[in-house]
């Protein structure tokens, strides 16, 4: 299937999607051992994009064996040699970035402007960043000759398919581990294209294996006795199940789970800038963002002014075709996710919050949800407590900084927070009081491969990104310092 993404003939970019894909094991694409397949659809059209192999427990075993075999040589390569492969992968991603951006928008539903200008540049940046560490691990602060763990079993969600893959695979390979990765069921395609990039880069067979499948494939991978390290991004519920599976084993685990971030606006904040940050915080990627600013806490004295400006701005948001460069909000990733968002928004209304959306026409096929604002929200409402993972903002007010902190921290999650104020002293005071792994001030949703990312409380443990991200893939060095 060929898709044209052609705003102008001279900037034509095309992605070729095959009618079917196999699993990527030991450098080859092959069908599942029991022949099972599933369909992946475009959430903006409900059109079937391709049929993909559904990995069985036997396939998991084959992939882990391939990764184990490859580990011997891969871990023994000098870091500078591993770096060459990672740099090569990063460059190919840059070269193929338009194709990959279109693919990501088709399979996920996200606006092309975001996949092109945010996801893809960050994916390449991650590989470049960790390529740079591969020959400097002795200087990472883990003692001389830090050792890789072995085979990493990695399970990722559907909201940033290629970016989550980069967060997982780049540090694992840089540190000398080999990988078996399972992408989410609704977004398998970019991981399969990445498998092709690994071949193009000449990566030795078995170093990266991609197993498409559902939750049962993820569970088999996590529970496989020869997996040394588990890296998971996804829901808190599945994260807890994974923690139970690995309890009592010597597997090392990192969990990046849900969030319910407070975006806190003080009366001295630059309000126009804050409005942009609020919009970016909750409507970026349809709100399918674990660190989304889904609770707006606004100081009472500026609440009316801010909400007026926010509504004006929301009226300008365009919802629709992900491949249109003017689209701000694309499709909801799946019918199931749309049902979850709808149910929670309905609960918000039923519990007494006031619902508002700008008038906007939604396409007739596909999965869509208009940008939505709830005012009159109390801390007891489900929309203030539960992760919606959609374009729905719950607004609460506060009077004092202490009250803002109390409300912001009143959640089982602890992933991120935003602070909008002109006062540097207040930023620092708040940053110390907020129980969140990432805190932005006068900005939101800023990412950098050099910056560690991860949560407190039920948002999980471990950090990805930066020097800290290496730690998750390294064993402490032996007393002799020998590998
Ligand atoms: P999940 O249902 O948790 O799925 C995540 C991944 O785990 C998918 O690949 C899924 O496969 C797989 N999986 C499902 N059940 C499993 C099991 N029992 N054992 C092992 N793997 C299993 O989450 P989702 O719906 O894809 O993503 C939304 C959630 O992820 C949100 O709560 C969001 O906050 C969180 N999230 C967190 C972060 C960070 S960085 N903290 C980033 C992105 C998303 P299937 O696709 O086949 O179900």
CB 208 within 8 A of CB 195: yes
Asked if pLDDT for residue 12 goes beyond 60, the answer is no
Residue from 238, 437, 468 whose mutation best tests the ligand 1 pocket (most atoms within 8 A of CB): 238
- The CATH class given to the 262-441 domain equals alpha beta
pLDDT at position 7:
45
pLDDT at position 2:
63
User: Of 418, 413, 416, 410, nearest to 459 (Cα)?
Assistant: 413
CB 105 within 8 A of CB 49: no
**How many whole angstroms separate alpha carbon 52 and alpha carbon 22?**
6
With a 6 Å cutoff on the Cβ, whether 454 touches ligand 1 is no
How does residue 143 score in pLDDT terms, banded at 50, 70 and 90?
confident
Residue ranges per structural domain of the chain: 12-257+460-475, 262-441
Question: What percentage of the chain has pLDDT greater than the value 70?
Answer: 96
Asked if pLDDT for residue 11 goes beyond 80, the answer is no
pLDDT at position 144:
81
CB 213 within 8 A of CB 192: no
How big is the CA angle at 236 (ends 235 and 240), to the nearest 5 degrees?
120
pLDDT at position 4:
56
With a 6 Å cutoff on the Cβ, whether 328 touches ligand 1 is no
Residue from 39, 126, 157 whose mutation best tests the ligand 1 pocket (most atoms within 8 A of CB): 157
**How many whole angstroms separate alpha carbon 465 and alpha carbon 163?**
12
Do 12-257+460-475 and 262-441 show the same overall fold?
Answer: no
Where does 128-274 show beta strands of DSSP type E?
A: 147-148, 151-155, 178-182, 208-210, 229-233, 252-256, 262-265
Asked if pLDDT for residue 483 goes beyond 50, the answer is no
* Whether residue 354 lies in the annotated active site: no
φ/ψ region of 109 (left if φ > 0, alpha if ψ in -120 to 50, else beta) reads: left
Asked if pLDDT for residue 9 goes beyond 80, the answer is no
The domain 12-257+460-475: what is its CATH number? 3.40.605.10
pTM: 0.96
- 139 vs 469 pLDDT, higher one: 469
With a 6 Å cutoff on the Cβ, whether 465 touches ligand 1 is no
**How many whole angstroms separate alpha carbon 205 and alpha carbon 69?**
9
CA of 302 to the centre of ligand 1 (A): 37
**How many whole angstroms separate alpha carbon 458 and alpha carbon 436?**
11
CA of 288 to the centre of ligand 1 (A): 12
ipTM: 0.92
Of 114, 185, 256, 386, the catalytic one is 256
CB 462 within 8 A of CB 256: yes
pLDDT tens digit string along 261-281?
999 999 999 999 999 999 999
CB 187 within 8 A of CB 333: yes
Asked if pLDDT for residue 193 goes beyond 90, the answer is yes
pLDDT at position 3:
60
């Amino acid at each position: 299937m060929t898709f044209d993404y052609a705003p102008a003939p001279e900037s034509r970019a095309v992605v070729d999607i095959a009618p079917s894909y196999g699993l990527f094991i030991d450098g080859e694409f092959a069908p599942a051992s029991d022949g099972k397949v599933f369909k992946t659809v475009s959430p903006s059209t409900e059109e079937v994009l391709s049929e993909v192999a559904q990995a069985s427990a036997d396939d998991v075993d084959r992939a882990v064996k391939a990764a184990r075999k490859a580990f011997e040589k891969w871990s023994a390569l000098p870091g500078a040699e591993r770096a060459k492969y990672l740099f090569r992968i990063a460059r190919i991603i840059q070269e193929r970035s338009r194709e990959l951006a279109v693919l990501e928008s088709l399979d996920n539903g996200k606006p092309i402007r975001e996949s092109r200008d945010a996801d893809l540049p960050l994916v390449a940046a991650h590989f470049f960043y960790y390529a740079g560490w591969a020959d400097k691990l002795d200087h990472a602060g883990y003692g001389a000759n830090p050792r890789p763990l072995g085979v990493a079993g990695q399970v990722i969600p559907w909201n940033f398919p290629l970016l989550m893959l980069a967060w997982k695979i780049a540090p694992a390979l840089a540190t000398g581990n080999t990988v078996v990765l399972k992408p989410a069921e609704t977004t398998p395609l970019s991981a399969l294209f990445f498998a092709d990039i690994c071949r193009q880069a000449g990566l030795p067979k078995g170093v990266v294996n991609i197993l498409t499948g559902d939750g049962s494939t993820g569970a088999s991978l996590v529970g496989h006795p020869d997996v040394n390290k588990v890296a998971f991004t996804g829901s808190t519920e599945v994260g807890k199940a994974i923690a139970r599976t690995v309890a009592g084993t010597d597997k090392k685990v990192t969990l990046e789970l849900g969030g319910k971030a407070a975006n806190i606006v003080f009366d001295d904040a630059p309000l126009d800038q804050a409005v942009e940050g609020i919009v970016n915080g909750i409507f970026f990627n349809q709100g399918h963002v674990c660190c989304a600013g889904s609770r707006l806490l606004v100081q009472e004295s500026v609440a009316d002014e801010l909400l007026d400006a926010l509504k004006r701005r929301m009226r300008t948001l365009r919802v629709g075709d992900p491949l249109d460069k003017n689209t701000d909000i694309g499709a909801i990733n799946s019918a199931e996710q749309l049902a979850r968002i709808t149910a929670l928004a309905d609960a918000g209304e039923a519990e007494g919050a006031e619902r508002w959306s700008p008038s906007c026409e939604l396409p007739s096929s596909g999965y869509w949800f208009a940008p939505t604002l709830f005012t009159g929200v109390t801390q007891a409402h489900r929309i203030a407590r539960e992760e919606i993972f959609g374009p729905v903002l719950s607004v609460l007010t506060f009077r004092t900084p202490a009250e803002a902190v109390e409300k912001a921290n009143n959640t089982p999650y602890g992933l991120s927070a935003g602070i909008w104020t002109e006062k540097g002293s207040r930023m620092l005071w708040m940053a110390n009081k907020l129980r969140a792994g990432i805190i932005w001030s006068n900005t939101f949703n800023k990412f950098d491969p050099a910056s560690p990312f991860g949560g407190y409380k039920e948002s999980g443990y471990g950090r990805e990104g930066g020097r800290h991200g290496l730690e998750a893939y390294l064993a402490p060095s032996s007393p002799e310092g020998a590998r």
